[in-house]
Amino acid sequence: MDVYNFLVDVGCCNRCILAYCGHRVLKDYECQDVIQTKIQKYISEKDPSSSSEPVGVDTKEEPTGDEQNGLVSSSYANEEDKGTTGHLSKKPKPSNCITCLDLLNEGCTSAHIEKMSEVIKDGDYDAKCFSVVVSLPLTLPLRIHVVWASLLLKFPEFSKEHRSEHITLVKDVWKNVVGPKIESLTKKNFLTGQNIDFCLQVHPTYLYDSEDCKILDKLCSEMFTYRRQHPKKFSKEVYTRSAVDQVLKSFSDEELIKIIPEPPPSKAGLSYEKMFCTHASVYVAGRYNKYSRELPQTPWFVEGERRIESSVQELICHLVTTEIKADSIKFSSSGREDVDVRCLGRGRPFVIELINPHRIHLSEAEMTKLQNEINSSTDEVKVNDLQIVSKSDISNLKEGEEEKTKSYCALCIIPEGHDSQLLDQLKDIKSLTLHQKTPLRVLHRRPLATRNRAIYKLSTSPLDNHFFKLHLTTQAGTYIKEFVHGDLGRTTPNLGSILGQQVDIVALDVEDVELDWPPARNR
For residues 329 and 320, give the distance between their C-alpha atoms in angstroms, rounded to a whole number: 10
Identify whether the C-beta of residue 356 lies closer than 8 Å to the C-beta of residue 252.
Answer: no
Q: Which residues contact 47 (CB under 8 A, 6 or more apart)?
A: 1, 2
Strand partners, 328: 355
Q: Is residue 516 among the annotated active site residues?
A: no
Strands 129-134 vs 189-190: parallel, antiparallel or unpaired? parallel
Strands 198-202 vs 129-134: parallel, antiparallel or unpaired? parallel
10 Å CB burial of residue 445 (0-12, 13-18, 19+) is: exposed
For helices 110-123 and 166-186, the axis angle rounded to 10 degrees is: 70
Q: Which of 2, 81, 245, 338 is catalytic?
A: 338
What are the helix (H) ranges across 206-331? 209-213, 221-229, 241-249, 253-259, 312-324
Identify whether the C-beta of residue 283 lies closer than 8 Å to the C-beta of residue 127.
Answer: no
For residues 381 and 375, give the distance between their C-alpha atoms in angstroms, rounded to a whole number: 7
Residue 103, Ramachandran bin (φ over 0: left; ψ between -120 and 50: alpha; else beta)? alpha
Q: Which residues contact 33 (CB under 8 A, 6 or more apart)?
A: none
What are the helix (H) ranges across 270-382? 312-324, 364-376
Identify whether the C-beta of residue 330 lies closer than 8 Å to the C-beta of residue 380.
Answer: no
Phi and psi dihedrals of 108, rounded to 5? -110, 10
Catalytic residues: 338
